[in-house]
Structure 1
């Protein structure tokens, strides 16, 4: 039996994230600091690896289970950075809390480099399992949120595993490159069932319809820092899982049409349900949670266009548009939740939208970042990160699936109906509730990042330009 060679440099960001988790567990009162330093080092290592030639490891013939190309390392740096932000706005927490967050981040980094079904699903579960504990804050509401998240997650994982088993049975390989060729000529019904179950199960992490109902309840009842993590890093994991599978495994095979139909249903359902439900929300986190479901639809829309001839002819551009939108979206969500945590406090809920009245007067720095994030999620300037995200999707859809471009544009217009009133509430009036205004440096950091990617979107667009 011949052992596989291991490229340890390709795995360096993952090693550092795992080490930061192990150290945090035994670091006592300094657990948060050690976890943040370790994850920051992991992000720097990912950027350094990306600056060199693309690497891959765990080879079976010409196929690899883990890749360290620009896209994977850029996503790894983003996972680590988002976790550092969440730790920074979490206040003083137990070593176990920091350990679980760092383990989840390590799962996200492993997911970013995954290139086969087994690695992808194991990494996705590593990202998710620590959150079962973290969402369940003391009290009845926390227990309900934890139980809801656990049941929904286990159900979706079983669904995705069954789909992956069917795809393996059809293609005879778990590697994405093996799927691309192995599915051609396989039983059509087996392929369609495998694609539908796998994508449906993975769609849970994005809170895409129909596996969406957990998100508003869990985000509103979880601690605000964990809600920030669920809305940013966790959703990035779901987006990458779907994009990687479609781009590297399904787009060039006979399964492309089946995948496109499933993704079209998920995308349109998410856009419609998320926007309509967000219009009637009066609580801040609930509004952001329901609107996040709509954004999941925008992420999936370019991939759904694989049903068209134009989509199949340029699958790489579709995946790049979806990836770019996911990155812009999670950065904006991170900014919104981080600033909201700084205003409300890490142990409080998000409160009602009306309680943010006149926030600009009581906490101008936090209100400024929250305003940039809200306007960006609406896709309007001067918050250019959101504008470029919408443009990246619509530009590609306009030349491949016009009807989906119309759905996305209509959803964006409906979104103005709840984002603009939220922005007006922050700007106008006199606030009755004093804002806490904590975590100034962390909020300032995510604010700088949002401004940077808005003024220089190529920072995102370059590493989200996927290669085959």
Structure 2
């Protein structure tokens, strides 16, 4: 007699609401934006409500579950929904399909937050990513190039992750993350190593961890700024959550996985910092520095597989997730501030600001642009020099951008970034001192490009700047202040337990 799995609908409520928001946005016509934002706001509130109650789990196979609604999952789900609401507020007027795609992607993030088996996890990652193939594409050649690049990179990463998941299933006999740890004991070492390497590499594409990072700077620069905000925050959060879940719940104690994570972490820190040092464009600097931050987030996970760090699996995974959350909040706020002051934030059907050959000639042409760190088209984000004296012309977005930049540098008073790095270094100091040195050195190098950006905002003669999306930018800034004043809120909901 076939048994039907019981479904805990309360645990699934945030996902139901996000999916309903996507459907409403598709059919609501001129009210699509309001319907999407209200639905996603309700999903965030539901996630908080579920998270404050007892832990829930559903779709059980024995003692294993495919979907879990614990504190970490629901806190992360609420953040996915909140980021989508922020991007919607920054997006201005768009066609109804835009809001549907954004809400559908957020639903994928919420599903990912609670996923506890390889099938649910990979499907959720693809649901988070698939709508972005369309959203990143602005009209014109540059937009088409960004969309094509992102499509090819994502499809390749998805195939790689699927192959790794298939190999791990073959080795362990289960797709449930909790079952992998027991199933891989005594399994073929080569099969396990290949599966872990392929799965983690495929998911590292989503996080833009080096050496799997090449798509990120190009796509972020050429995508519409609101979509770039989502890519730099929600999409990267998805990659960080997926890797953390796989490593902590499924692969802890697998030495080959530890080697892969350590290589990704060190490569990201080195390549991201070196790339950011030569940038003269705002989005390019944030994109390259984001690669370095991906390395900082991965670093604690590398010690879970070591003999000395295995006993610290919980604190290490919690530190990785907490760092990802702090980084995402800082990055989203920085992009929101840049979006508010740029003359054309763009959109799926927005205008395409492209330089003509004559304009390139007047500004020094492609040669000057390459020497300053990029191609002829500077993208919607513009050059860092265009932010000179922004504090005088647009105080609110300038203050939020300044606070975000200081936080990304890990300096007070933006204590969100400070606490993030302290959480990582605290774990590494007792388990992998050499990796702690790499993280600390990378943070010091980061000062070389974050502090000049902060200086640009504060000094010099200000050019006129638009003032838009004040409420969205102000709320992003308040969120940063809140987690700086009370970081324990983030540290509490990111504390992981099996």
Mark yes or no: TM-score above 0.5.
yes
Which runs of 5 or more structure 2 residues have no equivalent in the other structure?
347-352, 354-379
CA distance 1:39–1:351, change in 2 (3 Å): same
Q: Does 1:464 align with 2:476?
A: no
Deviation at 1:101, TM superposition (A): 0.3
- Superposition pairs of residues 256-335 of structure 1, within 5 angstroms: 257-335=255-333
Pick from 453, 458, 461: which aligns with 1:422?
A: 453
Paired residues of 1:6 and 1:57 also in contact (CA < 8 A): yes
Q: Give the Cα separation in 2 of the matches to 1:209 and 1:439.
A: 33
Superposition TM-score, scaled by structure 1 size: 0.98
Other structure's SS at 2:66 match: strand
Paired residues of 1:335 and 1:446 also in contact (CA < 8 A): yes
Q: Give the Cα separation in 1 of the matches to 2:146 and 2:457.
A: 28
Other structure's SS at 1:431 match: coil
Aligned to 2:102: 101
Q: Give the Cα separation in 1 of the matches to 2:7 and 2:306.
A: 40
Aligned to 2:388: 357
Deviation at 1:306, TM superposition (A): 2.7
Q: Give the Cα separation in 2 of the matches to 1:366 and 1:314.
A: 40
Q: Give the Cα separation in 1 of the matches to 2:101 and 2:391.
A: 35
Aligned pair count reads 464
Q: Give the Cα separation in 2 of the matches to 1:94 and 1:346.
A: 15
Aligned to 1:217: 218
Which runs of 5 or more structure 1 residues have no equivalent in the other structure?
none
Q: Does 1:448 align with 2:481?
A: no
Q: Give the Cα separation in 1 of the matches to 2:200 and 2:472.
A: 35
Superposition TM-score, scaled by structure 2 size: 0.93
Deviation at 1:314, TM superposition (A): 1.1
Aligned to 2:366: none
Deviation at 1:308, TM superposition (A): 2.7
- Superposition pairs of residues 103-182 of structure 1, within 5 angstroms: 103-182=104-183
Deviations 1:309-363 (A, max 9, x none): 2211211111000000000000000000001000104226000000000000000
Aligned to 2:377: none
Paired residues of 1:86 and 1:226 also in contact (CA < 8 A): yes
Deviation at 1:28, TM superposition (A): 1.2
Aligned to 1:411: 442
Deviation at 1:307, TM superposition (A): 4.2
Aligned to 2:358: none
Q: Give the Cα separation in 2 of the matches to 1:296 and 1:145.
A: 21
Q: CA RMSD in A?
A: 0.7
Aligned to 1:184: 185
Aligned to 1:78: 79
Q: Give the Cα separation in 2 of the matches to 1:33 and 1:420.
A: 39
Q: Give the Cα separation in 2 of the matches to 1:180 and 1:29.
A: 50
Aligned to 1:374: 405
Paired residues of 1:259 and 1:306 also in contact (CA < 8 A): no
Q: Give the Cα separation in 1 of the matches to 2:5 and 2:86.
A: 36
Other structure's SS at 2:430 match: coil
